Amino acid sequence: MNRIPPVSGIVVLSIGGSLVVPKQGIDAGFLRELRRFVLRQIRRGRRLILVVGGGHTARAYQQAAVRIVKLPPDDMDWIGIHATRLNGQLLRNILRDVAQHVVLKDPTRPVTWNRPVLIAAGWKPGWSTDYVAVRLAHRFASKLVLNLSNIDAVYDRDPYRHEDAKKLEAISWSEFRKLVGSSWEPGTNAPFDPIASKRAAAWKMTVVVAGKRLANIEKVLDGSPFRGTVISE
């Protein structure tokens, strides 16, 4: 089990799109749970930035396109970016009573944020939603990003290929970057995007990879023991 100090103020969550839209379709159960989770955090005085990925929607459209024509990486990325924005609109609507009314598409532009929740999505080719989450954390003076996805922790090797892969409770940015490499490709499936990792390391941030269970994420925020991996200096 792992543990970090309780988190107050602004909380940045990078939400894997596969939690919102897995292969079988939109997961309404997860979305209901996410809404309840968000409302609890607001009652406890936290403000949240939710950055959402493209999930199976992005992959389905990308795979359909490449079955017909060969696409350059930028065009593949744009398909994924628009999928993240669709998912962002979905989150904005289920949180419409507490969320800013516009989904943020560019983390560098001025933004009015006067409600408890800010929803953000993909920006431009070459940058994942993990990268957007890191940019927004830095912009709003937060040193922590929580990563929600189907990946429950960082392992010393690919657990899908190696049965003896070991789960890591903590890892340095230098060691983590050796594991994930240094380049981004559309559809990359890593615990945290390599380009975002480089920026997070430079800004001395902490990223927590803690799976998809919101009860576990709540433990992270409250300073309780949780399952997952802490990536830091």
- pTM, two decimal places: 0.93
Query: What is the 3 state secondary structure string of 2-37?
Result: ECCCCCCCEEEEEECHHHHCCCCCCCHHHHHHHHHH
Say yes or no to pLDDT of 100 above 60: yes
Domains defined along the chain, listed by start: 10-232 (3.40.1160.10)
Average pLDDT, stretch 105-117? Answer: 94
Q: What is the per-residue pLDDT for 185?
A: 64
The percent of residues above 90 in pLDDT, for the chain, comes to 85
Residue 46's Cβ-count burial label (10 Å; 0-12, 13-18, 19+) is middle
Q: What is the per-residue pLDDT for 72?
A: 93
pLDDT tens-digit readout, 127-179: 899 999 999 999 999 999 999 999 999 998 888 788 888 999 999 999 999 88
